[in-house]
Amino acid sequence: MRAKEDLVERISHAGEDWLFYRALPFHVALIRATTEDETGNLGMERGRPPSSGSRSAAPSPRARCFARCARRETG
């Protein structure tokens, strides 16, 4: 099976030839959480808080998410 478009391209920059690799989309998220409730919400009570430079992103409709939790809370 061939790619629909080239994944690498030879470009010229500052008089030199370079290989430019296109970014590949990822449709998977791995999350490590402390707790999970009955509706699937994840809590991160333990661990390092996110840094000020952290970002969040909305998942793609085709994305798969895998979570590992230390414990599950029940009502």
- Name the token pair of 57: 């992103």
Tell me, what's the pLDDT at 9? 92
Mean pLDDT throughout 10-36? 86
Taking the C-alpha atoms of residue 33 and residue 43, their distance in angstroms, rounded to an integer, is 6
pTM of the model: 0.40
Alpha-helix runs per DSSP H in the chain: none
Tell me, what's the pLDDT at 16? 96
Mean pLDDT throughout 55-75? 70
Only one residue has tokens 């500052």, namely: 14
Task: Compute CA distances 66 → 11, 27, 33, 35, 48, whole Å.
Answer: 38, 11, 11, 14, 20
